């Protein structure tokens, strides 16, 4: 339909997208064969099936395990940006979560150099820009997180290829049984080095936990933030300070299952409350999505028209970590 086509073409930014979650099933199967990784099935429909966040994370880890050498990372990054550019994405700040790979002997320098190679080629081909945010995997604990951030800081000060493309740190994976404030030492290292700071909070956490993380970790953005409205104090603070929430509406329905239907999502209430709540993909290939379709789905679910969706796109630019002149170029 006409609005959906226009929203696909609308210039948009994606601030919450996991590179590993952009991998098409055919690529997973190819890399698995190349690298000798056993998959439970080669059937894409079966490969990408899950019914909870924990089951999803098992699939995500399987996808990650197919990324072994520098060329694999370059291919992943190149395919991610060329795919998003086809759906109107003009800038993205993508997560990658290398803790698992580092634990199995890969080097951060090689991962970052590979990603940078693929991203540079895709940027030249498409004009879409991509910066990276390294995520700490909470399944590996806060000490592994701190080591990851320190290694990144070292690579940046050594001028390692591609390291300057990693502009921030975050954390992802499970929230169950995790006190995310224990990641404070890692975030302190990031802050001291001038890195930007975000974190997944609020797929399976309370507003109180989100608030504690803002204070303890100095988060500048919150990824997901589903329960924020449960606290009037937290909501008022995030409105006043214009702390962005990178919302992933479809993901919250199909991955974490916070809501039964998109129509039940709190996004309209967040925006009505004045929160800087943006629309993003999370794991587009693993949830059969792209940002054009996500904008169309949100418009349809909440009865929003062109002007409201343009507002969301502009809020995405504000919420990005581009500098003011780069933001002005996108508006
Ligand atoms: N890693 C990739 N997608 C994620 C999500 N939705 N929640 C937590 N960790 C993730
Ligand atoms: Zn995410």
Any catalytic annotation for residue 55?
no
Which bound ligand lies closest to the C-alpha atom of 222? 2
**ipTM topping 0.90:** yes
Taking CA atoms only, the protein residue closest to ligand 1 atom 10 is 173
Asked whether residue 44 carries a pLDDT value surpassing 80, the answer given is no
Express each pLDDT in 185-219 by its tens digit: 999 999 999 999 999 999 999 999 999 999 999 99
Q: Look at residue 169 in the predicted model and tell me its pLDDT.
A: 98
Task: State the pTM of this model.
Answer: 0.98
Sign of the dihedral defined by the CA atoms of residues 263, 13, 118, 19, in that order = negative
Overall average pLDDT of the 273-297 stretch: 98
Q: How far is the CA of 79 from the centre of ligand 2 (A)?
A: 19
Domains, the chain, in order of start with CATH, read 2-326 (3.20.20.140)
DSSP H or E stretch at residue 196: strand 196-197
Taking CA atoms only, the protein residue closest to ligand 1 atom 7 is 173
Spell out the residues 6+ positions from residue 175 whose beta carbon is closer than 8 angstroms to its own: 138, 200, 201, 202, 203, 204, 205, 209
Ligand 1 atom with the shortest distance to the CA of 248? 6
Judged by DSSP in three states, 283 sits in: coil
Pocket of ligand 1 (CB under 6 A): 18, 21, 60, 172-173, 200, 203, 251, 255-256, 282-283
Q: How far is the CA of 64 from the centre of ligand 2 (A)?
A: 14
Taking CA atoms only, the protein residue closest to ligand 1 atom 4 is 173
Q: Look at residue 45 in the predicted model and tell me its pLDDT.
A: 78
CA–CA distance, 37 with 7 (Å, rounded to integer): 38
């Amino acid at each position: 339909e006409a609005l959906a086509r226009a929203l696909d073409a609308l210039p948009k930014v994606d601030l919450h997208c996991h590179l590993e979650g952009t991998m098409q099933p055919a690529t997973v199967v190819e890399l698995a064969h190349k690298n000798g990784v056993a998959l439970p099935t080669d059937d894409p429909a079966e490969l990408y099936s899950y019914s909870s966040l924990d089951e999803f994370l098992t699939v995500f880890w399987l996808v990650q395990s197919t990324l072994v050498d520098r060329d694999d990372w370059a291919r992943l990054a190149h395919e991610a940006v060329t795919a998003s550019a086809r759906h109107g994405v003009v800038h993205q700040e993508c997560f990658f979560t290398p803790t698992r790979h580092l634990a199995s002997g890969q080097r951060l320098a090689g991962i970052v150099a590979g990603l940078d190679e693929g991203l540079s080629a895709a940027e030249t081909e498409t004009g879409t820009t991509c910066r990276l945010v390294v995520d700490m995997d909470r399944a590996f604990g806060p000490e592994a997180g701190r080591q990851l951030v320190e290694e990144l800081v070292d690579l940046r000060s050594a001028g390692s290829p591609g390291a300057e493309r990693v502009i921030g740190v975050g954390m992802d994976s499970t929230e169950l049984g995790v006190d995310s404030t224990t990641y404070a030492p890692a975030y302190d290292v990031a802050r001291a080095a001038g890195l930007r700071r975000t974190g997944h909070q609020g797929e399976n956490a309370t507003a109180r936990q989100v608030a504690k993380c803002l204070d303890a970790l100095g988060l500048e953005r919150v990824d997901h933030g589903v329960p924020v409205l449960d606290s009037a104090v937290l909501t008022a603070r995030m409105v006043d300070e214009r702390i962005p929430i990178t919302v992933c509406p479809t993901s919250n329905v199909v991955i974490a299952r916070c809501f039964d239907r998109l129509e039940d999502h709190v996004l309209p209430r967040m925006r009505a409350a004045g929160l800087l709540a943006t629309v993003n993909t999370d794991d587009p290939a693993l949830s059969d999505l792209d940002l054009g379709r996500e904008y169309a789905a949100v418009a349809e679910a909440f009865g929003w028209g062109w002007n409201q969706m343009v507002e969301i796109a502009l809020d995405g630019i504000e919420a990005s970590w581009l500098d003011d002149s780069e933001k002005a170029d996108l508006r």
